[in-house]
Structures are given as C-alpha cells and as structure tokens.
Amino acid sequence: MTRKNRLAAAIAIAAGTALLATGCSSGSSADSGDGKVTMTFWHNSTTGPGKAYWASTVKAFEKENPNVTIKIQAIQNEDLDGKLQTALNSGDGPDVFLQRGGGKLQAMINAGQLLDIKDSISADAKKSISAGTFSGYDAKSGTYAMPVAVLPEGIWYSKDLFQKAGIEGTPTTMDELNADIAELKTAGVDPVAVGAKDAWPAAHWYYNFALRECSEKTLTGAASSLKFDNACWTKAGQQLEDFNATKPFNQGFLTTAAQQGAGSSAGLLANHKAAMELMGAWDPGVISSLTPDAKPLPDLGWFPFPTISGGKGDPKSMMGGVDGYSCTAKAPKKACTDFLNFIVQKDNQEGYYKAFQAIPVNQDAQSVVAEPYLKSALAAYKEAPFVSQYLDTLYGQNVGNALNTSVVDVLAGKGTAKGIVSATNQAAAKG
C-alpha cells in the first residue's frame, strides 16, 4: 500500500516536473552554435492578404538567409498588446514584433526590453525612408523600431452623398465644413459617423482641433511633461464643443463601434448611411471589408482636416501614425536587423501596400500608390511641415485613455472643455 503510494507520488512528481520543464522550454531564439538562428515574429494580420504577405515575405527572407528560420505567430489585434506584455515580462517574448510606438514604446525602452537598431539600419533604408518617419522611434539612447507604413489622418467621405446634397468640392475651413454638414442634413443624410463606443475615434476630433490650436512645441512637449496647462488645450476643447453643438454626428453615436459590422462608423460610410468619417489611412481597408460586396468603396474620397481661424498650429500640419517593427533585446542582432532592413526594401514595400492598402514608408515604393484618395493623403503628408502622432499613442496608454474618454463625455454633453484638461492631468497621477 505504502509502496504503491510512493510510486504514485513519484510518478506524479515526475510528470509535474516534466510539464514544468516543457512549459518553460519554449524560449524562442536559439543559436545552436553552427550559425543557425531561429527567431519568432509576432504581427496582427490574422486573415486575408496581410497574413499571406507576411508569410511570403518571411519565406523570401529565409531564402536569402539560409541560416535564419523565422517562426510566424499572427495574433488577433486586440489581444496582441496584452500577450506581448506578459511574454516580454516573463522573458519569453518574440524576437520581432509589431511596435505601437509612443508611450508603450517608451515603457519597453525603460524596461530594457528593446534592441537599439540605430547602427544597423542599412544605407538603403536610410536613403529611402525620410528621417521624420523614424523620429517616432528615436530615443536618447538610440532607435528602437523600423517604420513600415505611414497612416496620415483626414476625413474620408462619400462623393455620391456629397453630390446628392449638392456640395461641390471639399471643405477647407471649419466654416465650410459646418455649412456642408447643414446641407447634408437638409438632404436627409447623417453627416458624420463617429465610433464613440471605442472612444478613440471621437477623440481624434479633439486631437485635430488641438493640432490646429497648439504649437508643435506644446504638442510634443506634453509627451514628456504630461502637463496640459497651456490655454490651447482648453481652446481646442471649446472648438470641439462648438462643433458638437451643430449635432454633426450619427444618431446613437455613443454606442457606435468604429470597425465592427455594418452599424459601425466605417460600416455606415461603407453603406452610404453617413457621409464622412475622420480616420487614419487604414480606413480604406476597413471600409472595403464592410461594403455590401466587400469591395473597395468606389466613390470614396479624402480631404485633410479643415483649418480654423487663429490657432498656433501650422494649417498644413497633420495627425498621423506610423506602423513599425521592433526587435527585442534578446533577439539575435544581426539576423533580426537584417530582417527589418529586408522588409523596407522597395519590392517588399510595394507588396505591403498591395496587401494592406496602406502607404509604404519607402519613398521609391510610394510611386505605386494608385487610389486617388491615398494619393491625396500621401501628397498632403509630404507637404505637412509637422506630422503629429495620435495623441493617445504619444502620451501613452494611461493619459491617452483618460483623454479619449473625457472627449466622449464632452460629445455626450456630460463634460466640458476644461473637463478634458483636468481629466488628463488627473490621469497622469495614476500612472
């Protein structure tokens, strides 16, 4: 009896140890001594052409570098950040991964989790990518990610609905935009769709008002000080209140999502239920997946965010994000930076554009962009003296989240311009 128990216990312990051992042995990068290197790669394209693009790009890279094997893991976008954080903290993270930038990037740099790629960026990449595009990934200690796409923001609109309402051309000032909104209402069209349920799409209106009201120095300076006491922040909130008072948004916008289904803001635009949406340059891809025939919206157009009277911001400045990829500190430096240099080569960037409908960072590859709306977005982007990162990314998750929700409060009539500033200042204390 006793002996049997002991035997059972021994087996149980052995099995447990084995489980633990195998559980912990899934470490990713392995240099097996003969120069062969294995890396893991996390991105967020779980379906369609994006997923296929990464698979074929990795295959092409492995062919050029027979000593390197890359294991791809595509992770659902909303799950990516949480998994990444856990994995990085447990030392079990990927070698290459999609970098969101901004405050999250800063937190990873502070924790020593990223590889400085500054000296490894190829001459080709330096030549074909503008220095400004890199700036979001620069820190005092180095450069921590390779940009692959630029996503400038503006207003996406349906040309057919504008025509139906008798609007010619596109608005360039807020007054013109307000006039167009009035005309669209008269024509019985919801003027502007906004996915306030996700908070950030609503907050983008505030970002753009802040971009017009505040100077470049104020916007970027707040990223490190996290203090929002400049008067321009309140003025931007006032602009938002005034705009909201004209009731430009779709009915029930507070519970409208940004991207899921026909009832989302992108879906409303895709189905001609609303005329406009303020969004980054990923929007064409989202919209085309939500049209009735799942094809790109034929009458989609783009114009930059209108100018306001007064304000310290340059009227040609833009909001815009950059998508990029980072190597983790434990990644094999040579292989990993080689891969980053590889993905920004001209043909791979052209492939990226085709797969994602997004503007590539490589200036030689930008010539293949054909859609008129992407072309005008790209032209405006090139002309912009200052492209600000989206403020929630720029100011980090904590302040960014508070900023976003306080903007929603204003749109719902529960908050004020001052409330945005105080909520943002208060959030800074929590992190």
List of residues contacting other proteins (CB under 8 A): 2, 5, 9, 82, 85, 88-89, 103-104, 107-108, 110-113, 196-199, 251-255, 257, 263, 396-398, 401-402, 404-405, 408-409, 412-414, 426-427, 429-431
Cβ at position 147, least distance to other proteins in Å: 22
Cβ at position 271, least distance to other proteins in Å: 12
* Cα→Cα distances 23→19, 93, 329, 414, Å: 6, 14, 22, 49
**Of 14 and 111, which has the nearer Cβ to other proteins?**
111
Cβ at position 241, least distance to other proteins in Å: 15
Cα separation, 382 vs 320, whole angstroms:
12
Spatial contact of 74 and 51, defined as CB atoms under 8 Å apart: yes
- Side-chain half-sphere exposure of 171, counting CA atoms within 13 A: 23
Positions of E strands within 62-132: 68-74, 96-99
**Of 220 and 397, which has the nearer Cβ to other proteins?**
397
Cβ at position 227, least distance to other proteins in Å: 17
**Of 238 and 397, which has the nearer Cβ to other proteins?**
397
Positions of E strands within 196-334: 274-279, 300-303, 318-327
CA angle 341, 347, 350 (to 5 degrees): 105
Cβ at position 119, least distance to other proteins in Å: 24
DSSP secondary structure string, 311-344?
Answer: -SS-TT-EEEEEEEEEEBTTS-HHHHHHHHHHHT
**Of 273 and 354, which has the nearer Cβ to other proteins?**
273
Contacts of 231 (CB under 8 A, 6+ apart): none
**Of 125 and 411, which has the nearer Cβ to other proteins?**
411
Cβ at position 83, least distance to other proteins in Å: 12
Cα separation, 380 vs 371, whole angstroms:
14
**Of 372 and 431, which has the nearer Cβ to other proteins?**
431
